[in-house]
Amino acid sequence: MKETKEKLRKSLQSVHNISYRISIKPLTRLDLNKKVFIEVIRSLRQIEERRDFMQSEIGLDMTTYEDKFFDVIENLLVLSFNEEQVKLIRLYLFQLLPDPDWNGTITLMKGKKEEVVMFKSPTDIWKVISKFEEKN
């Protein structure tokens, strides 16, 4: 980390020859949760794509082997998110993402009004499920 600070300091000084104080802002819990969530969703997508490739190109069905792993992952999602959030995550991973005709959006009910939102990337998913956080 110190090496990164020094590189940054040298770059800034090469442009503006003044002294700088560089401090590192730690991630908030919310930012860390978002970062980890996005990584998990990307990894799950890659696992699904790899499994589909192995099935279609090699003829090897990994579903039975992977089922226990996915059970663990889904149970961790259930521990971390409320029921509505888990439903949206499952919808994305197992229904919408595999659909080649899907346009990348979903329609949410906001009160009595419908709202079309982007739901294509893990960041989009995070934004949508954050709207469904339970208020304690």
Residue 58 lies in a domain: yes
Residue 80 lies in a domain: yes
Residue 119 lies in a domain: yes
pLDDT at 67: 86
The structure's pTM equals 0.75
pLDDT at 77: 93
Residue 8 lies in a domain: no
Residue 23 lies in a domain: no
Q: How many domains does the chain have?
A: 1
The boundaries of the domain holding residue 119 are: 28-130
pLDDT at 136: 41
Of 84, 106, 85, give the one whose Cα is nearest residue 95: 106
pLDDT at 1: 63
Q: How far is CA 24 from CA 1, 27, 70, in A?
A: 9, 9, 36
Residue 104 lies in a domain: yes
Write out pLDDT tens, residues 56-96.
998 888 888 888 888 999 999 999 999 999 999 999 998 99
| 88 close to 132: Cβ distance less than 8 angstroms | yes
Of 37, 25, 8, 29, give the one whose Cα is nearest residue 122: 37
Write out pLDDT tens, residues 100-135.
899 999 999 878 899 999 999 999 999 999 988 864
The Cα–Cα gap between 67 and 5 comes to: 44
